[in-house]
């Protein structure tokens, strides 16, 4: 099924030009007109989509040609944008900046071409006048397959400055679709890994998004931008669907064991995929904050949320639900127990280093997590989840599931990784290949257990992470849409864990 949703890609010559302000402001401004706006972010970033969700009332979704493959970018976009009036895609870094050493792969330009979407270039004009025309001309002519449909001038100092910029751009053939004056920075504070997530500053974030929308509403030609978006035309190809992705993915290669030497339990197959509920600003559409009635045989999988664990791709919960699980969100900062009947646990990324004292003080939950892991139940932990499962974080007691200690570090570890599963686990069979992303300023010592999770070769050859009983804990963020069998394998193991408990 083709997608004809009007769409724009918001890009810039470099980071720091104002992409997030413009993209988030456009989303909120169009949403205030009554349009259903689908928010997207190029690359693996988890934080900007939180602001996008606040602006639109829909889950912010990532489009990553490195993690998921170029062939999935358009189907995943169509999935997120289904039923919407407009889609706004915020780019990453500079327009043509992609995965290191991989040419255009995963760049904003690459994604724009895959989506056949016009690009709006956001230019920081604070220190230039006539030179802006040369800059815009260079970006518009560099790749003829990338259509620069307009420019938004940011940080313009005065009416006179605006006049000089417009005069210079008249001959470029690229229309000016907006001018944003130089104002005090909108209240979006940053720290060691970028913007502070929405979940940590809800009231301030709402005000910041409103300020972005007001700035864009005054300075941009929304009618012209929407007309440009409508010119994108139909996008051929199928729309991604979690149930269909699972149906065409390879089955788990290992049977679910049953204690006592009995014959392997047949793999669990739901009678039909559970419906995906509409998206909302709080998280994946299929994840519920309150336990619901379960279909017979559906294992309950708890997913960590709240301010300390905000990094998660929406498709993960959708795949788990389509594989037959009931997905329930809990908050390790507030909840002293895991959701009743939990048979599997997913702890994604976030900022446990910021909330170390509060997480450590919640001893009942730490013990519950350790008991679940000790029972052999499936536990998947990425980055922040790895820190939470360690014995201590900056000297504060954590769950003690992994025999390692974690601490903050001044060095930023950042980049895409090609990984190979070193050990059989609840997520992957040894030898399976996946692509991932690292993004942290912490160190875990030791960095790998006796049965490591992954082997990587870049930036240096090493093994990392921990596999023990049902636990898979690693720094690597992965996107399960690229390997839907991961979700099914995890659910299968949860059913096995349930049988053991029973």
Catalytic residue IDs: 383
Per-residue DSSP letter, 35? -
- CA 491, 73, 67, 411 dihedral sign is negative
Collapse the DSSP code of 151 into the 3-class scheme (helix H, G, I; strand E, B; otherwise coil) and give the result: strand
- CA 75, 222, 280, 107 dihedral sign is positive
What does DSSP say about strands 190-191 and 194-195: parallel, antiparallel, or unpaired?
A: antiparallel
> Which residue do the tokens 């060691």 mark?
192
b/e sequence 305-325, b meaning 16+ C-beta within 10 Å: bbbbbbbbbbbbbbbbbbbbb
What does DSSP say about strands 405-421 and 433-445: parallel, antiparallel, or unpaired?
A: antiparallel
Q: Of the candidates 223, 124, 192, 488, which has an alpha carbon nearest to the alpha carbon of residue 351?
A: 192
What does DSSP say about strands 119-124 and 148-156: parallel, antiparallel, or unpaired?
A: parallel
Give first-to-last CA distance, the chain, whole Å.
44
- Residue partners of 78: CB distance under 8 A and separation at least 6: 1, 3, 5, 235, 237, 238, 239, 240
Number of neighbouring beta carbons within 10 Å of residue 81? 28
What span, in angstroms and rounded, lies between the C-alpha atoms of 277 and 117? 27
Are 390 and 406 in contact, with CB atoms under 8 Å apart? yes
- Residue partners of 442: CB distance under 8 A and separation at least 6: 353, 387, 406, 407, 408, 409
DSSP of 411-465: EEEEEEEEEEE-S--SS--TT-EEEEEEEEEEEEESSB-SS-SEEE-SSS-EEEB
How many Cα atoms occupy the beta-carbon half-sphere of 422 within 13 Å? 20
Instruction: Kindly state the tokens that stand for 385.
Output: 């989840």
């Amino acid at each position: 099924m083709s997608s004809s949703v009007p769409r724009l890609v918001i890009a810039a010559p470099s980071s720091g030009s104002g992409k997030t302000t413009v993209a988030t402001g456009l989303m909120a401004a169009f949403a205030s007109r009554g349009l259903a706006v689908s928010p997207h972010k190029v690359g693996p970033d988890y934080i900007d989509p939180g602001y996008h969700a606040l602006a639109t009332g829909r889950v912010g979704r990532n489009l990553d040609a490195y993690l998921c493959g170029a062939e999935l970018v358009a189907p995943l976009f169509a999935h997120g944008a289904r039923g919407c009036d407009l889609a706004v895609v915020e780019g990453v870094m500079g327009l043509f900046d992609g995965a290191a050493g991989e040419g255009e792969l995963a760049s904003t330009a690459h994604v724009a071409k895959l989506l056949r979407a016009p690009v709006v270039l956001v230019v920081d004009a604070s220190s230039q006048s006539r030179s802006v025309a040369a800059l815009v001309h260079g970006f518009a002519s560099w790749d003829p397959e990338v259509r620069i449909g307009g420019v938004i001038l940011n940080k313009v100092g005065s009416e006179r400055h605006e006049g000089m910029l417009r005069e210079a751009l008249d001959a470029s053939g690229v229309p000016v679709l907006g001018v944003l004056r130089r104002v005090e920075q909108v209240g979006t504070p940053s720290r060691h890994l970028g913007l502070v997530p929405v979940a940590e500053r809800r009231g301030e974030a709402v005000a910041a998004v409103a300020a972005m929308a007001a700035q864009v509403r005054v300075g941009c030609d929304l009618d012209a931008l929407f007309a440009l978006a409508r010119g994108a035309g139909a996008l051929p190809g199928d729309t991604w669907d979690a149930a269909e992705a699972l149906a065409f993915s390879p089955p788990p290669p290992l049977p679910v064991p049953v204690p006592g030497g009995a014959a392997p339990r047949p793999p669990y197959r739901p009678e039909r995929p559970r419906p995906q509920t509409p998206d909302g600003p709080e998280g994946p559409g299929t994840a519920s904050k309150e336990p619901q009635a379960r279909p017979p045989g559906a294992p309950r999988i708890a997913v960590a949320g709240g301010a300390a664990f905000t990094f998660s791709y929406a498709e993960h919960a959708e795949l788990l639900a389509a594989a037959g699980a009931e997905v329930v969100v809990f908050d390790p900062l507030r909840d002293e127990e895991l959701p009743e009947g939990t048979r599997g646990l997913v702890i994604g990324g976030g900022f446990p280093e910021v909330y170390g004292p509060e997480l450590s003080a919640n001893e009942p939950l730490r013990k519950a997590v350790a008991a679940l892991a000790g029972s052999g139940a499936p536990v998947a932990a990425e980055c922040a989840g790895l820190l939470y499962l360690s014995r201590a974080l900056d000297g504060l007691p954590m769950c003690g599931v992994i025999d390692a200690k974690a601490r903050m570090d001044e060095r930023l570890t950042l980049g895409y990784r090609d990984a190979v599963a070193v050990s059989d686990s609840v997520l992957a069979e040894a030898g399976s290949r996946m692509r991932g992303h690292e993004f942290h300023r912490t160190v875990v010592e030791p960095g790998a257990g006796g049965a490591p999770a992954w082997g990587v070769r870049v930036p240096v050859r090493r093994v990392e992470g921990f596999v023990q009983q049902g636990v898979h804990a690693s720094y690597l963020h992965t996107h399960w849409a690229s390997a839907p069998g991961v979700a099914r394998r995890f659910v299968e193991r949860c059913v096995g864990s349930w049988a053991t408990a029973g």
